[in-house]
Amino acid sequence: MAALSGCALLLAAALLLSAPAATEAYDSLDPNGNITIKWDLKEWTPDGYVAMVTIYNCCKGGVISTFNQDPANAASSFQISVGLSGTTNKTVKLPRNFTLKTPGPGYTCGRATVVRPTKFLIGDGRRTTQALMTWNVTCTYSQFLAQKTPTCCVALSSFYNNTIVGCPTCSCGCQNNNTHPGSCVNPNSPYLQSAIDGPGKYTGQPLVQCTSHMCPVKVHWHVKLNYKDYWRVKVTITNFNYRMNYTDWNLVVQHPNFNNITKLFSFNYKPLSPYGGRINDSAMFWGMKFYNDLLNQAGPFGNAQTEILLQKDPETFTFEKGWAFPRRVYFNGDNCVMPPPDAYPWLPNASPPMKQPWTLELLVFWTALAALLAYYV
Ligand SMILES: *[C@@H]1O[C@H](CO)[C@@H](O)[C@H](O)[C@H]1NC(C)=O
Ligand SMILES: *[C@@H]1O[C@H](CO)[C@@H](O)[C@H](O)[C@H]1NC(C)=O
Ligand SMILES: *[C@@H]1O[C@H](CO)[C@@H](O)[C@H](O)[C@H]1NC(C)=O
Ligand SMILES: *[C@@H]1O[C@H](CO)[C@@H](O)[C@H](O)[C@H]1NC(C)=O
Ligand SMILES: *[C@@H]1O[C@H](CO)[C@@H](O)[C@H](O)[C@H]1NC(C)=O
Ligand SMILES: *[C@@H]1O[C@H](CO)[C@@H](O)[C@H](O)[C@H]1NC(C)=O
Ligand SMILES: *[C@@H]1O[C@H](CO)[C@@H](O)[C@H](O)[C@H]1NC(C)=O
Ligand SMILES: *[C@@H]1O[C@H](CO)[C@@H](O)[C@H](O)[C@H]1NC(C)=O
Ligand SMILES: *[C@@H]1O[C@H](CO)[C@@H](O)[C@H](O)[C@H]1NC(C)=O
């Protein structure tokens, strides 16, 4: 039996095009895509074989492998030795039970089917050799399978309105002391530690801090500052799960201005083009190694933050109608629950010209930064 379970195939969110609905807001990115895994048998060993495993995504703009995230330690292909699985193409046992350990559950994999052996170019590139045997496995992502309930929610705020629009109540569940006592725990509870160590500890069951949204993860998008040519957003990811350190977490955000990210602090980032290059409005963020690539369990260190500086496109830029807020947010590939659009922080009604924080200090800073940027571009 192929020992695949030990082999953590880390794949990031599968983002797939669903026809972009023209200009409609709050649409479009669906974490939905198939992944093909191809096995090329390179040689037989006394009790099994050595195979080259390659992971593909089926569709343009589709899957991002963790290669983005960590090219040194992740690969979209790797070699694996498998024992006790037959030693000829007649007796070989195809691996049967594939589990993709994505940064979240949700992939179901079909049966392996034997396909025409892959041909490889070798040596000087003029000769070819072929795999002893090749098989494909297709894995399908389903948010439904991934989670019956969401695991993440979004809170919004901005400098132009004091209201913090929190995660919608009961985004990921409701506090219900009658039917589920102990379904969450308060940070100042004297029983905190015993609850963390309590039932469910070894099953990986989340133990969340009591909040109105009850989500293990909250993403807070704060529109922080407005300058003449730039604007600045602060994004905070908070972990409310006392039983989980998220290693190699990733965040995918869709925002119409992401084609113009000018500077990013504390996170890594890669632009994504979910519609195959036509629209460039999404980006994947992940932590910096040894700094915040681990999102600590709930508590004082259970958060990670970045600030993003975006250049305004005068044609599209506006603070109206929630434009400054993201359209979709995914944490580890799972869709985060957004507040309803009509709850977004409003612009002050009287709409006098926006007060801009033009202190001298800032002016100097931004001029210097702009010069620096001009220099690098
Ligand atoms: C994914 O695979 C399933 C079954 O293998 C198929 O029905 C579906 O159309 C595929 N989806 C895409 C987007 O290729
Ligand atoms: C099995 O291997 C033999 C020789 O190694 C080859 O002739 C035969 O076509 C292979 N069969 C399959 C199904 O790949
Ligand atoms: C596949 O693995 C999962 C989890 O390890 C297990 O629950 C399931 O029964 C397995 N299925 C088969 C067909 O072996
Ligand atoms: C197997 O997967 C590879 C990679 O996606 C693909 O190029 C090839 O056409 C697939 N073969 C079959 C028979 O589906
Ligand atoms: C559940 O209990 C906590 C503290 O014991 C309390 O703060 C919270 O309001 C209660 N929730 C409900 C829905 O009764
Ligand atoms: C998370 O990491 C911290 C320190 O790295 C460790 O003390 C803690 O036990 C870990 N928590 C879990 C749930 O693994
Ligand atoms: C998307 O935007 C980034 C800047 O944020 C830029 O580097 C990249 O080339 C753009 N890609 C496309 C396809 O326009
Ligand atoms: C970013 O915005 C500036 C100003 O509007 C514009 O000139 C530039 O083309 C934009 N860059 C991209 C990649 O859209
Ligand atoms: C701030 O936004 C909220 C909606 O989230 C709205 O009810 C409130 O009136 C706004 N405040 C101002 C000063 O416009």
| Mutation choice for ligand 9 from 154, 160, 344, 346, CB with most ligand atoms inside 8 A | 346
Examine the domain organization and report whether 282 and 157 are in the same domain. yes
370 located within any domain: no
Give 328-374 pLDDT, tens digit per residue: 898 887 789 999 888 888 887 534 333 333 332 233 333 333 332 33
3 located within any domain: no
Residue nearest atom 2 of ligand 7, based on CA coordinates? 259
181 located within any domain: no
Examine the domain organization and report whether 130 and 226 are in the same domain. no
| Pair 274, 17: CB distance under 8 Å | yes
Examine the domain organization and report whether 158 and 274 are in the same domain. yes
Examine the domain organization and report whether 38 and 85 are in the same domain. yes
∠ Cα 24 25 28 (to 5°)? 80
- Sheet containing 230-239, strands listed edge to edge, beginning at the edge strand earlier in sequence: 161-165, 152-158, 217-226, 230-239, 303-311, 261-265
Examine the domain organization and report whether 117 and 54 are in the same domain. yes
What is the domain range of residue 96?
Answer: 34-144
Q: Is the CB of 313 under 6 A from ligand 8?
A: yes
What phi, psi does 196 have (nearest 5°)?
-60, -40
Instruction: Give me 196's structure tokens.
Output: 């963390």
C-alpha of residue 209 to centroid of ligand 5, in Å: 12
Q: Torsion-angle region of residue 332: left (phi > 0), alpha (psi -120 to 50) or beta? A: left
285 located within any domain: yes
Sorted by sequence, the CB contacts under 8 Å of residue 44 that are 6+ apart come out as: 87, 88, 132
Distance of CA 361 to the CA centre of its chain: 36
Q: In angstroms, rounded to a whole number, what is the distance separating the alpha carbons of residues 2 and 8?
A: 13
Burial of 285 (0-12, 13-18, 19+ CB in 10 A): buried
Examine the domain organization and report whether 74 and 108 are in the same domain. yes
What's the average pLDDT block by block, 10 residues per block, for the chain (377 residues)? 26 24 26 68 83 60 38 50 76 71 57 86 78 83 59 94 92 76 83 86 85 95 93 96 89 86 87 61 86 92 94 86 88 86 76 35 32 29
The total domain count for the chain is 2
CATH of the domain at 219: 2.60.40.290
Measured over all CA atoms, what is the biggest interatomic distance in the chain, rounded to whole angstroms?
79
40 located within any domain: yes
| Mutation choice for ligand 1 from 34, 56, 98, CB with most ligand atoms inside 8 A | 34
